[in-house]
Amino acid sequence: MIRIGSRGSALARWQAEHVRARLETLGHPCHIQIITTTGDRVQDRRLESVGGKGAFLKEIEEAMLAGEVDLAVHSLKDVPTALPEGLRLCAILERADPRDVLVSASSARFRELPAGSRIGTSSLRRQCQIRALRPDLEVSDLRGNVDTRLAKLREGRCDAIVLAMAGLARLGRESEATQALDPETFVPAPGQGAITLECRAADERVASAVRPLHHPLTGRAVEAERALLQALGGGCNVPLGAYATAEASALRLVAFVGRPDGSSLVRGERRGSDPAALGRGLADDLLARGAGALLSS
């Protein structure tokens, strides 16, 4: 029996059930255990004030280290590049659509929103890009799971919200998206759209069971994105995006670092065949062109 630790949101449950079904098809019985994390409990403060994106993982990782669960299912964009000692990422599933999407109450597309429209998002990355592209819009901090944010849009707390397409699609709500945003101009978070699995570093039983779920092409792309993130030392408190795509035998990586108010952005792109070297190389390029000052501010 493989005990899977999962958050309790609808999206987290979908992801855990998806992994459970695939593992059971391979002959590995599973049980899902719901664990409430700090990120789920604390909804009235900015995420970076309660531990950043790691706040969605902490209690699940503690349960793994304590031997209470064997496997964690995460959205990769929520996983810090530095893991607790004794844990490892053991598989990355094939990536879903990595794009951000606009959901607009009036069905207006991003460029069509009237000046002064309120867009809700808690992501500094999204806030920065919205402000850089449309400084005439008002950005409102909006936390909560997908259902909560869509409900707040319907209640009129904002005129539009920005979400991940992958989350909407996994919940069967992609038809509610008004516009998918071009990842070349509205760069996704590193790892967005990918599900990753985490287990104890010494647990070869679980690592072997999940190995067939690993998707090598996705693994290479997100390795480049996360190598850039690690080299820049970025997290949820830094407006930063990175997106890698396959081009023949190489990868193309685009990325940006900016100020939360969108007043300054450094963008770049680079190609290479070694994912880790590609990510570090583009990070060096961005730093050489002023990203360090943005990160320190």
Domain assignment present for 203: yes
Domain assignment present for 106: yes
Contact 33, 3 (CB under 8 A): yes
Three-state secondary structure readout of 92-150:
ECCCCCCCEEEEECCCCCHHHCCCCCEEECCCHHHHHHHHHHCCCCEEECCCCCHHHHH
Contact 92, 195 (CB under 8 A): yes
78 has catalytic annotation: yes
Taking only the tens place, the pLDDT of each residue in 93-136 is 999 999 999 999 999 999 999 999 999 998 999 999 999 999 99
Same domain for 133 and 66: no
Residue for token pair 């855990």: 16
% of the chain beyond a pLDDT of 70: 93
Domain assignment present for 186: no
Domain assignment present for 255: yes
Taking only the tens place, the pLDDT of each residue in 46-105 is 555 445 556 779 899 999 999 999 999 999 999 999 999 999 999 999 999 999 999 999
Same domain for 199 and 70: yes
Same domain for 35 and 86: yes
What is the C-alpha separation between 19 and 140, in angstroms, rounded?
34
The pLDDT of residue 293 is 87
- Decide if pLDDT at 236 tops 70: no
Same domain for 148 and 20: no
Q: What are phi and psi of 82, to 5 degrees?
A: -100, 120
Do the bridges between strand 250-258 and strand 265-272 make them parallel or antiparallel, or are there none, so unpaired? antiparallel
* CATH code, domain with 129: 3.40.190.10
Q: Choosing from 70, 78, 97, 100, which is the catalytic residue?
A: 78
Same domain for 89 and 10: yes
Taking only the tens place, the pLDDT of each residue in 157-199 is 999 999 999 999 999 999 999 999 999 999 999 999 999 999 9
Domain assignment present for 187: no
Domain that holds residue 235: 223-296
Contact 138, 119 (CB under 8 A): yes
The pLDDT of residue 42 is 56
